[in-house]
């Protein structure tokens, strides 16, 4: 049985009369422990798909099923990692931010602090726990977001261009860390990006979107390269060409701008 | 996320660290010199007392203790009204932010009343609440409420969507969202509103004391008119400015020490 299932999805913003459909006839099944990457340039509805699974928004038609039940609201079973640092609470320290989920769930102070410190170590920020987000770099802040999600032990991770605003070197490091982390605990991941390399590095399947409005899946490309994946192998390059071709076919001109090879 | 901006001049606080103090001191010195020069040119010194006469009046008012009494009276009214208004304004702003129903129900009144000066209510306030302290406190609270409420509401509007969504994805219910995210996000804005409101409180209390009081700096100034005691008026006026300056700095310091971390919440 699939862990996350979207079927017959149509999405338009409510209350705007004859508004355009962002998504139409969209179907996606994600198996437990599977890493699915959605790729496509801005405006093709990938974030909308993630918001539907997260329970931030609801489809005009169709059903979003997570663990056998229809999604009605956000919840700690689906951790979300956002692109920017807006989602961290700026008045809390790194540790306090990581503790937020357990604190909301009502875990005792000492217990949740212990858990947060463990996860701080796990993301390689040991000793930085007392700092506030404004004192941390972009890469560190994304690590904090990751730890904050992991601390909840969610089986589903929803990541919306989490490394999109990070410099290339840090981004590469974060990608490798995420891949290693996923290997360890195998959560179900829906990951959004417009970076082909990132998609190939992480995905079990790459979901190439058609342009919006009326967006749907253009092509589903399985990535069978052995993990951990090496960006420099020829197979990686071959896969890059294949994803790029799929994107170009689906988007025409737009894809060239969106997929500049690093 | 942030793009680097072009360097602007003197952004580095190390550039001329002592300079602001020197400029401060020079500016004040120039004021006193100008004050002296203007007063010396007046044919009738009684209409425009110079620094010397004013200082003499100040010494006398300090010695007989009346200045301290007037300061205490005005300050008590300002702080009581300000505190009351700030609490009500914060609650009102938060309610308006948290509930669309309340926002739209209350909005017309807030945006109608905030244009009616507190001073306009003084005669009515004294008729309704008497000549005692409560009428002044009520009017000061009135002017404070709107500044604080509107700023708090602005703080609500400035909360990034991702911040709300992240908390909800971590399982936060309505109450937790309010206390863990929304309220702390608004504190910085509420404090700014309070700082603005403080100036309004000063203006209003003086007017109230001129119209209906037997103590306070406003009363000191208006009652001096009967005796042509312009030097005393000057003392009252300058004291108001100095007091406002000091209260504002004290407010900044206290809010920084107690709620400083929320200032990061932009």
Query: Which residues does chain A have within 8 Å of residue B264's beta carbon, measured at their own beta carbons?
Result: 90-91, 132-134
Query: Which residues does chain A have within 8 Å of residue B186's beta carbon, measured at their own beta carbons?
Result: none
- Phi, psi of B173, deg, nearest 5: -85, -175
pLDDT tens, B170-210? Answer: 999 999 999 999 999 999 999 999 999 999 999 999 999 99
Nearest to B184 by CA among B249, B252, B257, B260: B260
At residue B6, the pLDDT reads 45
Q: Are B174 and B98 in contact (CB under 8 A)?
A: no
* The overall pTM is greater than 0.95: no
User: What's the gap in Å between the CA of A140 and the closest CA on chain B?
Assistant: 13
pLDDT tens, B234-263? Answer: 999 999 999 999 999 999 999 999 998 888
Joined tokens for residue B136: 């002044």
Residues 6+ apart with CB under 8 A from A171: A139, A163, A198
Rounded Cα distance between B238 and B246, Å, is 12
Whether B189 contacts chain A with CB within 8 A: no
| Cβ pairs bridging A and B (under 8 Å) | 77
Rounded Cα distance between B156 and A123, Å, is 32
Query: Which residues does chain A have within 8 Å of residue B174's beta carbon, measured at their own beta carbons?
Result: none
Q: Can the peptide bond before residue B13 be classed as cis, meaning omega within 30 degrees of 0?
A: no
At residue B3, the pLDDT reads 42
Do B163 and A87 lie within an 8 Å CB cutoff? yes
Strands A35-39 and A188-193: parallel
Residue B8: pLDDT above 60?
no
Distances (CA, A) of B48 to A120, A247, B225, B227: 68, 81, 13, 14
Interface test with A, best of B1, B167, B170 (most A CBs within 10 A): B170
Residue A174: pLDDT above 70?
yes
Query: Which residues does chain B have within 8 Å of residue A141's beta carbon, measured at their own beta carbons?
Result: none
Query: Which residues does chain B have within 8 Å of residue A140's beta carbon, measured at their own beta carbons?
Result: none
Rounded Cα distance between B183 and B252, Å, is 20
Whether B131 contacts chain A with CB within 8 A: no
Could you tell me the pLDDT band of residue B20, with boundaries at 50, 70 and 90? Answer: confident
Whether B166 contacts chain A with CB within 8 A: yes
Residue of chain B minimizing CA distance to A53 = B169
User: What's the gap in Å between the CA of A120 and the closest CA on chain B?
Assistant: 18
H helices present in chain A, as ranges: 46-54, 94-98, 100-104, 109-122, 138-150, 168-185, 196-202, 234-251, 253-258
Do A87 and B162 lie within an 8 Å CB cutoff? yes
Joined tokens for residue B143: 């002017």
The secondary structure element, H or E, covering residue A23 is strand A23-30
Could you tell me the pLDDT band of residue A250, with boundaries at 50, 70 and 90? Answer: confident
Do A74 and B165 lie within an 8 Å CB cutoff? yes
Residues 6+ apart with CB under 8 A from B62: B68
- DSSP secondary structure letter of residue A189: E
Query: Which residues does chain A have within 8 Å of residue B266's beta carbon, measured at their own beta carbons?
Result: 90
Do B162 and A78 lie within an 8 Å CB cutoff? no
At residue B11, the pLDDT reads 53
- DSSP secondary structure letter of residue A137: -
Identify the residue whose tokens are 């007017």: B207
Query: Which residues does chain B have within 8 Å of residue A89's beta carbon, measured at their own beta carbons?
Result: 163, 180-181, 184, 265
Distances (CA, A) of A183 to A4, A169, A188, A229: 19, 22, 11, 12
The secondary structure element, H or E, covering residue B31 is helix B19-41
Do A89 and B266 lie within an 8 Å CB cutoff? no
Do A80 and B1 lie within an 8 Å CB cutoff? no
Residue A261: pLDDT above 60?
no
Could you tell me the pLDDT band of residue B113, with boundaries at 50, 70 and 90? Answer: very high
Do B165 and A80 lie within an 8 Å CB cutoff? yes
- Phi, psi of B199, deg, nearest 5: -65, -45
């Amino acid at each position: 049985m699939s862990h996350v299932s979207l079927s017959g999805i149509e999405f338009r913003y409510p209350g705007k009369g004859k508004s355009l459909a962002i998504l139409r006839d969209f179907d996606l099944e994600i198996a437990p422990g599977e890493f699915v990457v959605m790729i496509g340039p801005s405006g093709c509805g990938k974030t909308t798909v993630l918001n539907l699974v997260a329970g931030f928004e609801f489809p005009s038609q169709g059903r979003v099923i997570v663990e056998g039940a229809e999604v009605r609201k956000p919840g700690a079973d689906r951790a979300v990692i956002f692109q920017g640092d807006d989602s961290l609470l700026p008045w809390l320290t790194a540790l306090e931010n990581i503790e937020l989920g357990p604190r909301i769930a009502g875990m005792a102070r000492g217990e949740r602090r212990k858990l947060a410190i463990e996860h701080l170590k796990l993301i390689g920020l040991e000793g930085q726990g007392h700092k506030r987000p404004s004192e941390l770099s972009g890469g560190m802040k994304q690590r904090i977001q990751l730890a904050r999600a992991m601390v909840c032990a969610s089986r589903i991770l929803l990541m919306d261009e989490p490394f999109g605003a990070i410099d290339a070197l840090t981004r590469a490091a974060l990608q490798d860390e995420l891949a290693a982390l996923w290997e360890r605990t195998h959560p179900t991941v829906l990951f959004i990006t417009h970076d082909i390399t990132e998609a190939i590095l992480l995905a079990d399947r790459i979901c190439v979107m058609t342009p919006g409005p009326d967006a749907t899946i253009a092509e589903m490309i399985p990535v069978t390269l052995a993990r951990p994946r090496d960006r420099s192998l020829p197979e990686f390059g071959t896969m890059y060409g294949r994803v790029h071709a799929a994107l170009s076919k689906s988007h025409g001109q737009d894809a060239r701008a969106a997929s500049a090879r690093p | 996320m942030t793009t680097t901006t072009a360097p602007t001049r003197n952004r580095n606080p190390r550039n001329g660290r002592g300079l602001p103090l020197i400029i401060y001191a020079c500016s004040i010195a120039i004021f006193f010199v100008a004050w002296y020069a203007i007063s010396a040119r007046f044919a009738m010194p009684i209409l425009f007392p110079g620094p010397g006469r004013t200082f003499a009046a100040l010494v006398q008012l300090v010695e007989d203790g009346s200045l301290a009494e007037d300061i205490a009276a005005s300050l008590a009214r300002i702080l009581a009204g300000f505190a009351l208004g700030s609490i009500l304004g914060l609650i009102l702003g938060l309610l308006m932010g948290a509930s669309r129903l309340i926002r739209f129900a209350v909005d017309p009144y807030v945006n109608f009343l905030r244009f009616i000066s507190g001073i306009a209510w003084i005669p009515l306030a004294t008729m309704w609440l008497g000549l005692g302290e409560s009428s002044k406190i009520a009017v000061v609270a009135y002017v404070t409420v709107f500044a604080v409420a509107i700023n708090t509401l602005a703080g609500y509007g400035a909360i990034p969507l991702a911040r709300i969504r992240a908390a909800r994805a971590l399982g936060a219910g309505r109450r937790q969202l309010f206390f863990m995210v929304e309220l702390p996000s608004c504190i910085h804005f509420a404090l700014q509103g309070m700082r603005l409101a403080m100036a309004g409180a000063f203006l209003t209390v003086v007017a109230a004391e001129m119209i209906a009081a037997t103590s306070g700096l406003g009363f000191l100034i208006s009652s001096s008119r009967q005796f042509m005691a312009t030097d005393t008026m000057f003392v009252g006026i300058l004291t108001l400015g100095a007091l406002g300056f000091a209260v504002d700095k004290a407010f900044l310091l206290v809010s920084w020490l107690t709620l400083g971390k929320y200032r990061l919440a932009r």
